[in-house]
Amino acid sequence: MQLKKIKGQISLAACALLQVTSPTAQAEDNQWDVDSAVLFYSEGDGRVSAFEPAIYAGRDLEDGDRIDLRVVVDALTGASPNGAHASSVAQTFTTPSGNSSYTTKAGETPLDETFRDTRVSLGADWTMEMDRLSRLALGANFSKEYDYTSLGISASYAHDFNNRNTTLTTSLGFNSDSISPEGSIPSEFMPMVNKGFAQNRESDTETKTITDFLVGITQIVDRKTIVQLNYSFGITDGYQNDPFKIITVVDAAGLPATGAFDAFNTGDLPYVYEKRPDSRQRQNLYVKTVRHLEEDVINFSYRYYWDDWDINSHTFDLKYRYQMESSYLQPHIRYYMQSAAEFHTHNLALGTDVNQTTGKVQVDYASNDYRLAESETLTLGLKYGIPMGDNSELSMRAEIISQAVTDDNVPAGEEIPDLDAVILQVNYSFVW
């Protein structure tokens, strides 16, 4: 489940991405062009680390069709924030299994250090040439984690016109996901229970479906400039909570409200499991421009996102490929900013958000997941590539990521700490 949150869904827009093809690794008929990669991701302060090998292979067929295959493996370890905030007192939490507990010292952000997960993802696309100007691509993908299974299909149609200077693309994708977290599905807004007691659980498995639609147009402006514009609309229905996230219930002094759930008489802790809406509508506007200079290439994109959870975001992405005599350097800068979900909250107050007598939560939805908070993220990177022969290329990429969550009106000492991370990646492309 955490992997799905961190990695995100494979975007439907991949069916219509504007790409600048490398002059190396160009396959002829009956040959495979292969791109292999190994990525390492690491967050600061002992948080999540990921190791990801991947391989992509594509081949043009004799009848004008094309087949593309991909395999990705993700292995994650480290400590993951559980949703509670730092406090001036030590805090004890029950692990997702319900069989053990861990304690966070006063002043520290609570992290679940038992986090482990592995994902295997498989995908295939078959592109068929309908006629001289039209192509139909059919795709399927499958991914499996310890507690999360996803199965998806997609279809994309592309048509060239205006002397092949303009391409119109439409895509439709559907995913069916199954969530089976360790310890089963927590009961929404019910308190976390001490180990040794029956845990507040609803069922072993929950499901959700994801439907995405995209329409895009790609225009060749001149011999050196290409522009792309996409609009996408998506609907997610079903279970959208993070089963590992909780929210702190505080008393009038702002401390975890020990005893808030005495009415349940099960050794409850002052934390409740989050609750999010079971539907979400998402929209994107995306524009990208690639300009080929004398030798260098400028690649710029902007995306505006909004949804009915009241999140909107802006993403600016700039790459400049500097061509050297026999290799290239590509600096990269990306800036991302988003608003908070309407139900994002720092904590729940006993007597206001939680009934002081019955312990019942009195709001519709709530989550303290930092990924739903107002935030800004800056990514700086550099890629180096060099040909290794007539049809192969080796490239290396390093990036640093800095994320800051807005903590207005949050008591001192309870802020969500800034997140720093690094990415290291090695790619090798070749023809086989």
Distance from first CA to last CA of the chain, Å, rounded? 36
Please give the mean pLDDT across all residues of the chain.
91
What pLDDT does residue 6 have? 41
Residue ranges making up the domain that contains 200? 2-431
Share of the chain above pLDDT 70, in %: 93
Most confidently modeled of 18-22, 111-115, 228-232, 413-417?
228-232
Our count of domains for the chain comes to 1
Least confident interval from 1-10, 54-63, 151-160: 1-10
- Residue 208, pLDDT > 50, answer yes
> How much is the pTM?
0.90
What is d(CA 400, CA 418) in angstroms, rounded to the nearest whole number?
A: 13
248-288: pLDDT as tens digits? 999 999 999 988 888 876 678 999 999 999 999 999 999 99
Domain with residue 13: its CATH number is 2.40.160
Query: Residues 6 or more apart from 6 whose CB is under 8 A from it?
Result: 48, 50, 76
Query: Residues 6 or more apart from 218 whose CB is under 8 A from it?
Result: 16, 18, 166, 167, 169, 226, 227, 228
